[in-house]
Amino acid sequence: MPLPAGSYLVESQSTHGVTPRERADFWSEHIGSYQSRMGFTYARPDDFGGETVRQRTEKYQLVRFRSDEIEYSRTARQVREDPDGDYRLLLPLTGGIVLRQDGQEARLTPGTGTLVSFDSPFDCLQDATTQAYILTIPAREVDGPLNRKSPLATGLDLTRGLGRVVGSMLNDLHAERDVLTDAQFDAVSDRIVELLCMLATGDDRPDATGQLSDVETMVRRYVRDHAADPALTGTSMARALGWSLRQIQLALQRAGTTPRDLIREERLRLVRERLQCGDCEHLTITDLAYASGFSSASALSTAFRQRYGLSPREMRNGGRRS
């Protein structure tokens, strides 16, 4: 129901006072009272926990929420029967969220935001440790400045630069919720949306020259953390980080490498460290290969010799020299 002009409301809700077996139904009804029609799948429907702090005017709505593991979904039928063209900026503060929409997947971690459209079906999986913001933005405020529909499931880095300013403004908007007026809440929200549009189209996008070094840093960190995963590729990494493969390729190209080469280098570094670790002496070369993301011991040996000039076995027998 639209609010009358000049109305600004702050509301808090929690499952704390509801009996465990009724909490899932309570949450479905609560979220459904102010979001468009969705499906809810609970990991523990017999004892679900969650809470929301909601700020809203006639124009914008900001919700900070925490809840146990849950999957939200919006089907094509729900989109038809309950149309909603507005966007939601989704920003995890803790935990992780996986969003799938229009054939794209974004894996959101703290500091990575995504614009979600309720005008298209989606699946949104949230883990049990997640706290997040979700800001409802009128479609005209995004589509007008961009002169097009915004890309869906687009990763936005809110950990530095202009993105960090957006994150700080969201925190401040929530922290000052009890003293703001409707005009002030809308004014700050307007500025947030303007900055988001700049992130989506301007020099603060990750494929701009000034941001490529930031992309490189985050990509290197991700590869180092996931090098042992045999399924790690440039494409899977792009999906996990919420960027395009092109953005990652451009960032690494400036550093003189490629996604494939970076992954191989990190896997070789991992093997080398384990060869030099006394606690790993019981592992065979084959064990090390599989545990470090290589498809076979021979693939490891070939790559290792090309990189270090000797085989893994020779390095192990050579006194773990650096």
Domain range summary for the chain, segments of one domain joined by +: 9-204, 210-317
The predicted pLDDT at position 145 comes to 61
Single-letter amino acid code for the residue at 82: D
CATH number of 9-204: 2.60.120.10
Local structure of 100: helix, strand or coil? strand
Q: Over its length of 322 residues, how does the chain's per-residue pLDDT go in tens digits?
A: 444 445 899 999 999 999 999 999 999 999 999 999 999 999 999 989 999 999 999 999 999 999 999 999 999 999 999 999 899 999 999 999 999 888 888 888 898 888 888 988 999 999 998 999 999 999 888 876 665 554 444 568 888 777 888 889 999 999 999 999 999 999 999 989 888 877 766 444 444 444 567 678 888 888 998 999 999 999 888 877 766 788 788 888 888 899 999 999 999 999 998 998 888 888 999 999 999 999 999 999 999 999 999 999 998 887 544 4
Long-range CB contacts for residues 203-212, cutoff 8 Å, separation at least 24 = 204/161, 204/162, 204/163, 206/155, 206/157, 206/243, 206/247, 206/251, 207/244, 207/246, 207/247, 207/250, 211/157, 211/161, 212/250, 212/251, 212/254
- Both tokens of 33, joined, read 């009272």
The predicted pLDDT at position 3 comes to 44
CA–CA separation, 112 vs 106, rounded Å?
A: 10
The predicted pLDDT at position 251 comes to 83
CATH number of 210-317: 1.10.10.60
CB 79 within 8 A of CB 120: yes
The predicted pLDDT at position 206 comes to 44
Name the nearest CA neighbour of 259 among 277, 232, 290, 278: 232
CA–CA separation, 116 vs 99, rounded Å?
A: 9
Contacts of 70 by beta carbon, 8 Å cutoff, 6+ apart: 27, 40, 41, 42, 43, 48, 50, 125, 126
How far, in Å, are 19, 74, 75, 78, 254 from residue 81 at the CA level?
32, 11, 10, 5, 48
- Both tokens of 19, joined, read 């009996």
